[in-house]
Amino acid sequence: MRLRFSIFFLVAFSFNLLLAQNPQSVWQQYKTPEEAGWSSGKLNEAKKLYDSLGSAAYMLIYDGKVVVSWGDVTRRFMCHSIRKSFLSAMYGVYVNRKEINLEKTIGELQINDNLPLTATEKSATIRDLLKSRSGIYIPAAYETPRMKEQRPKRGSHIPNTFWYYNNWDFNVLGAIYQRETGKDLFHDFNELFARPLHMEDYRETDGYYHVEPEHSIHPAYPFRMSARDMARFGQLFLQKGIWNEKQIVSASWVRESTTSYSDAGNSGGYGYLWWTNGYAGLPEFYTARGAGGHVIGVIPSLNIVFVHRADTYIGKRVEYDQVFRLTKLMLDAQVNSAKPKPTLIPLQPTTIARTTITLTKDQRAAYINTYQTIDQPVHIVEHDGMLMLVSHTRGRFALLPVAEGKFFVEDLALTITIGPDSTGKQTILSMER
């Protein structure tokens, strides 16, 4: 009886400790790195590498509290392929509810495309798509030139026999999700994850459907998100899907989706839209990765989550090896155990406060139009009493009026001026950083 009681007490204590890690409305930060067992001097050395990379933001979370927060952790950058790990977690919720069956085939789901699928291709299952092992090699939306170059010859591999990082698989998973659940991806992510995790910056308008009908009928589904919100998503997975005493996604799905099923070469392994390992200098870890150096990393054995961002709006890129090298330096800066009762302070956001003006409904209406920029047309629309800039290739961005005819484009960090041109036509006169 005493042994059973001791085991129960240990489990209960561990569970309560896990719950105590959850940030609520704001992240908590160690007052000094030394409170968490880190050396400020060694972290300063790591900061030199961070600065040299031109990174946009980096966060290191230990035991659910912030050790380091560099850059603007509130700015919503494009997540690029991290969208896939978000979708994987969403699948986990409905698989647990038995509303999605991973053994259903493409044929059973009546999935097709511009290029009609063959009987063999239609035998691929949802699970095959999650592993990126469908064997379906046809054009897809949101593909990079490298993905197109490396796409295997159609029919060269039957389903679940070969791994290829395949945007067709990823995009079709989005279409299947909506068909099977009847839910919009961005609204459902808000309901399933953003709200329960108290994400501070995410809005449903931070996602959009990227359509390329000339390539495929299935759109991509890019997200924008801040570093501090991405860190919450990583923390949820570190905690095996538990947040505030609620099992958001099952522990079995966390384990299953972050297990490697394919050898991805120097990139490590590949699970259900998650990457595993891929850098010899770190303990066993798994990551959600997006082009340009966007990373959510989880190191379970060390109770650590890290997030890295790059300003890919302006074409900045940081290689994954550099991100992981930086993280290795961060880990090397841990020289002691954390204090039993560390002093914590609320994480101070780095957002620059902007002075804005208020526009009446009629004033807002005067700006609603389609405008031609150098590379593409953009639209200004109204949403919930706010003007938004809509780009086919980048999504929707809030316009903050800072003066008459002048707007700050949120997240893109652009200032645009709108007014009449030499012919009197309302146009975008300038776009400046």
For the domain that residue 10 is a member of, what is the CATH number?
Answer: 3.40.710.10
Same domain, 219 and 81: yes
How far apart CA 331 and CA 281 sit, in angstroms, is 10
How far apart CA 19 and CA 108 sit, in angstroms, is 41
Same domain, 232 and 89: yes
**How does residue 376 score in pLDDT terms, banded at 50, 70 and 90?**
confident
Q: Is 233 within 8 Å of 86 (Cβ atoms)? A: yes
Same domain, 129 and 152: yes
The pLDDT assigned to 16 comes to 41
User: What tokens were used for 397?
Assistant: 């961005």
Same domain, 114 and 139: yes
Same domain, 259 and 298: yes
In 3D space, the residue among 128, 75, 76, 92 whose CA is nearest the CA of residue 350 turns out to be 75
Q: Give the model confidence (pLDDT) of 326-371 as tens digits.
A: 999 999 999 999 999 999 999 987 777 789 999 999 999 999 999 9
Distances (CA, A) of 145 to 79, 140, 149, 334, 355: 19, 12, 6, 41, 41
Name the domain boundary from 317, 351, 385.
Answer: 351
Q: Is the pLDDT of residue 121 over 80?
A: yes
How far apart CA 59 and CA 40 sit, in angstroms, is 15
Same domain, 389 and 423: yes
Same domain, 218 and 321: yes
Same domain, 268 and 389: no
Q: Give the model confidence (pLDDT) of 168-227 as tens digits.
A: 999 999 999 999 999 999 999 999 999 999 999 999 999 999 999 999 999 999 999 999
Q: Which residue has the tokens 């609204």?
A: 187
Mean pLDDT, rounded, of the chain = 94
Q: Which residue has the tokens 């409305």?
A: 25
Same domain, 368 and 325: no
Name the domain boundary from 322, 351, 380.
Answer: 351
The pLDDT assigned to 433 comes to 87
Least confident of 121-125, 141-145, 370-374: 370-374
Name the domain boundary from 299, 323, 351.
Answer: 351
How far apart CA 77 and CA 261 sit, in angstroms, is 30
Domain, as residue range, for 389: 361-432
> Could you tell me if residue 261 is inside a domain?
yes
Number of domains the chain is built from: 2
- Give the type of residue at 80: H
Portion of the chain with pLDDT greater than 70, in percent: 95
Q: Is 344 within 8 Å of 29 (Cβ atoms)? A: yes
How far apart CA 432 and CA 358 sit, in angstroms, is 22
> Could you tell me if residue 356 is inside a domain?
no
Helix residue ranges per DSSP H, 21-74: 33-36, 40-53
In 3D space, the residue among 286, 135, 313, 134 whose CA is nearest the CA of residue 222 turns out to be 313
How far apart CA 126 and CA 90 sit, in angstroms, is 14
How far apart CA 251 and CA 262 sit, in angstroms, is 21
- C-alpha dihedral over 289, 293, 327, 242, to 10 degrees? -30
User: What tokens were used for 406?
Assistant: 């002048």
CB atoms under 10 Å from CB of 156, counted, come to 12
* 176, containing H or E segment: helix 167-181
Same domain, 372 and 322: no
> Could you tell me if residue 273 is inside a domain?
yes
- Give the type of residue at 196: P
**How does residue 291 score in pLDDT terms, banded at 50, 70 and 90?**
very high
How far apart CA 403 and CA 296 sit, in angstroms, is 37
User: Mean pLDDT over residues 153-161, rounded?
Assistant: 98
How far apart CA 240 and CA 249 sit, in angstroms, is 8
Same domain, 12 and 139: yes
Q: Is the pLDDT of residue 12 over 80?
A: no
Distances (CA, A) of 104 to 127, 136, 180, 257, 330: 8, 16, 11, 18, 44
> Could you tell me if residue 309 is inside a domain?
yes
Q: Is 205 within 8 Å of 396 (Cβ atoms)? A: yes
Query: Which residues are 262's β-sheet partners?
Result: 270
Helix, strand, coil content of the chain in percent (nearest 5): 30, 25, 45
The pLDDT assigned to 164 comes to 97
Same domain, 294 and 371: no
